[in-house]
Chain A
Amino acid sequence: MAEKRIVLGNCGVIDPQNIETYLAKGGFKAFVKARDKMKPQGIIEEIKKSGLTGRGGAGFPCGLKWELARNTKAKTKYLICNADEGEVGQFKDKYLLSKDPFTLIEGMLIAGLAIGAQQAYIYLRAEYHSIFDLLAKAVKQAKEKGFLKHTDIRVFEGAGAYICGEESALMNSIEGQRGESRYKPPYPPTSGLWDMPTIINNVETLMNVPHIINNGAAWFSAMGTKRSKGSKVFCVSGDVARPGIYELEMGSPLKELVVDLAGAKDIKAVQVGGSAGAILPVRMIDTPLSHETCLGSGAVVVLNTDRDIVDIVYNNMHFLNEESCGKCTPCREGSEVMLEILGRLIRGDGESGDISKLEDLARAMALASLCGLGQAAAVPVLDSLKYFRDEYTDRIDQSLFLRSYLGSESYKSEEVVI
């Protein structure tokens, strides 16, 4: 039961509105070291050696990404902290931002040195407007200390769109456009905000950076698994006695998180990673939480034996369909049709071809969607078909029975309660 307090270390300990409390705990030492004693390539090498991967869900190697931006010649470079946190089941970034904005700022400034970014943004979702002033004040205090000479930081507020957590939609949003995804390549490190090299990192990813610079890459890579180094902040919700935020070493078993720490009982399944996250049946409760197995953003929703899997998958798809930016056909139309099929299943109006239709659509959407929303939308559908297929076939059998029993002319799905 080894909870970590690395990323969470200052939360509840420092005053998020007073930089002096952060400085007193050794704050900005890593930034000063990076600025005065290290070269940009040296900072990048350290982050690469540490094995730090993105903490927002995609898990891309952080150092490699920074190196791509550093090596692209351009007059302006940008850094963006992705604080859009719209993923279902995720609430760690709000907590981290409101309790310890200074570690984030320090991480951003180190990243800014490494890639050569003159301007940085903290893209804060509109729903977190209540912490806008706190963040702006923390940035102001850091500026007054003279830390923002190389990289200026501005807090930029979104306007309510889950898809703006996707990096290309996020950039379009900052540019004052509709938050639609972009065609890739090019990728942001070569061409991003206003076509300039841009690095987008999650809040938690950036908050790991000062620790790595202070303690060294070897300290960080000693924790975790082969491809997932360090610690991870998890959010647990759903059918648990103690929902909340927990930090564990990467590779810790799911059971430790949801049963030992969060107090889950009578588990049927756990969804890991958010609305398009993997659904694991209880027999897989010992699965290690890492990129290699199942991780995503670290949002963990526990479902007990009272819950209905098809209802849950419907809820996921409803959200994704609603939030789809609408630009690409596979996601816009595919999620709409999936929603219609799942809707008929939960209303008792299923048809025998429904499962194969869902599987076909899932393949098409995964291959052809422009961004992760469409590509991953079918993951809960496919996982639930793999592990809970009987819940789908039961629904279909019941629907077929009702239709044959009542006669298709007199059968109205709204009148039937299953």
Chain B
Amino acid sequence: MSAAGKETSPSTFNRAELLALLKQELDKNGNLSKAVMTSLADKTGLPLNEIYGVSTFYAYLPVAAAGKNIIRVCGCLPCDIKDARGVVGSIKKELGIDPGQTTADVKFSLEQVGCIGACDQAPAMMINDTLYGNLTPARIAEILKSFK
């Protein structure tokens, strides 16, 4: 188990720690840019394409630059029938962005995602690690305003 602050080197690197390592880099850098991936390849001894392959596979390992706060709106069936599209519309009204975009002030990014496990509170979204359910246009505006 790699402890925080322990230096990784090719001879000591255990591939089981890769996901945790990528997340540590995300906390520091906000996204896994080519520069970050290249430095990880050096540190771990893995080829760059392996780092790239793993990073691009997972939804929570953004490769492109992302906003400080990531909004993830669920579009799956229970949320879709409770107007998940309206949630996306409300967010567009408040922030001016569509899914896949980031606000000009880099405060928010918006993504459309699969089920987040809040089907009984549909429609629902996550902002970073917090879940918000039973959304209405008023509640969405209130939630977004609460992010300074």
A interface residues (Cβ-Cβ under 8 A, vs B):
85-91, 93-94, 125-130, 154, 157-162, 173-180, 235-239, 243-245, 271, 275, 299, 301, 303, 307, 312, 315-316, 318-319, 322-323, 325
Contacts and interface: CB of A to CB of B under 8 A. Distances in A.
Nearest to A311: B80
Max chain B CB contacts within 10 Å: which of A91, A130, A154? A91
Interface stretch (B3-11, B14-22, B101-109, B138-146): B14-22
Nearest to A306: B81
A244 B120 contact: yes
Contacts of B16: 174-176
A237 B117 contact: no
Given A88-B78, A319-B115, 12 more contacts: A86-B114, A90-B115, A130-B129, A159-B60, A160-B60, A175-B15, A176-B19, A180-B57, A236-B120, A245-B120, A315-B75, A319-B75
28 contacts: A86-B114, A87-B115, A88-B78, A90-B119, A94-B117, A126-B60, A127-B60, A127-B117, A128-B117, A130-B129, A157-B19, A159-B58, A159-B59, A160-B61, A162-B115, A176-B15, A176-B18, A180-B57, A237-B119, A243-B120, A275-B77, A301-B78, A303-B81, A307-B81, A312-B81, A319-B77, A323-B114, A325-B57
- Taking residues whose C-beta sits less than 8 angstroms from the other chain, chain B's interface range is 35 or more
A315 B61 contact: no
Contacts of B78: 88-89, 237-238, 301
B65 interface: no
B116 A275 contact: no
Interface of B: 1, 15-20, 22-23, 53-54, 57-61, 75-78, 80-81, 113-122, 126, 129-131
Contacts of B77: 88-89, 238, 271, 275, 301, 312, 315-316, 319
A119 to B, nearest CB: 11
A301 B59 contact: no
Summarize A's interface: helix, strand, loop or mixed.
Answer: mixed
A175 B18 CA distance: 8
Contacts of B129: 129-130
A130 B53 CA distance: 27
Contacts of A179: 57-58
Contacts of A176: 15-19, 54
Nearest to B53: A178
A126 B131 CA distance: 12
A211 to B, nearest CB: 24
Contacts of B119: 88-91, 235, 237-238, 243, 299, 301
A93 B117 CA distance: 9
Contact of B114 (A91, A94, A158, A322): A322
A178 B18 CA distance: 11
A133 to B, nearest CB: 11
A271 B78 CA distance: 11
A128 B126 CA distance: 10
B120 A159 contact: no
A336 to B, nearest CB: 17
Contacts of A236: 120
Contacts of B114: 86, 88, 162, 319, 322-323
* 7 A-B pairs with the lowest CB-CB distances in the bound complex, closest first: A160-B59, A176-B18, A160-B60, A159-B58, A237-B119, A243-B120, A176-B15
